[in-house]
């Protein structure tokens, strides 16, 4: 399998770090998936979304989650979020304190593909 960088230099990673109401983790995942994978999700229609996001569950706290995605433009993501906030996906109601705001990080270093290819050849 070819290794690829998690993200590309110059793009931006958003990280949502949040907790859901105690004991609602499984319900949250189902509701999130229904909303995220629907044809109505404007995130998936944006040219600025480089890699689709992933929802991660904390290994020690089943009510804590991280949503991570890669975008080429923070402002486009903010604009899309505003359109979503108007309709408000139902899974947001399960989030403690309504805290569903991303933190952003600019990708300032990403392993060049030739380095990853070399490592893959050496491990084969």
Radius of gyration of the chain from its Cα atoms, rounded to whole angstroms: 16
Residues shown for the chain: 124
Domains of the chain and CATH, by start: 12-123 (3.30.70.100)
Alpha carbons within 13 A on the beta-carbon side of 95: 18
pLDDT for residue 115 is more than 80:
yes
Residue-wise pLDDT for 53-78, tens only, equals 899 999 999 999 999 999 999 999 99
Q: What is the pTM of this model?
A: 0.86
pLDDT at 83: 80
Q: Is residue 3 very low, low, confident or very high in pLDDT (cuts 50, 70, 90)?
A: confident
pLDDT at 57: 98
Buried (b) or exposed (e) across 39-64, using 16+ Cβ within 10 A?
Answer: eeeebeebebbbeebeeebeeeeebb
- Cβ atoms of 109 and 1 within 8 Å: the answer is no
Sheet with 49-57: list strands edge to edge: 49-57, 64-71, 12-19, 103-106
pLDDT at 104: 95
Residue-wise pLDDT for 70-111, tens only, equals 999 999 999 988 887 656 678 888 999 867 889 999 999 998
Residue-wise pLDDT for 8-49, tens only, equals 999 999 999 999 999 999 999 999 999 888 888 888 888 899
């Amino acid at each position: 399998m070819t290794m690829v960088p998690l993200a590309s230099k110059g793009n931006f990673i958003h990280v949502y770090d949040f907790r859901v109401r105690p004991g609602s983790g499984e319900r949250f995942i189902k509701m999130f998936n229904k909303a995220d994978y629907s044809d109505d999700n404007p995130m998936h229609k944006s040219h600025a979304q480089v890699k689709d996001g992933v929802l991660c569950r904390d290994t020690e706290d089943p009510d804590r989650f991280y949503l991570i995605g890669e975008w080429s433009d923070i402002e486009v993501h903010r604009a899309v979020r505003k359109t979503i906030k108007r309709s408000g996906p139902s899974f947001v109601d399960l989030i403690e304190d309504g805290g569903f705001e991303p933190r952003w990080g600019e990708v300032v270093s990403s392993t060049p593909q030739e380095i990853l290819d070399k490592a893959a050849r050496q491990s084969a």
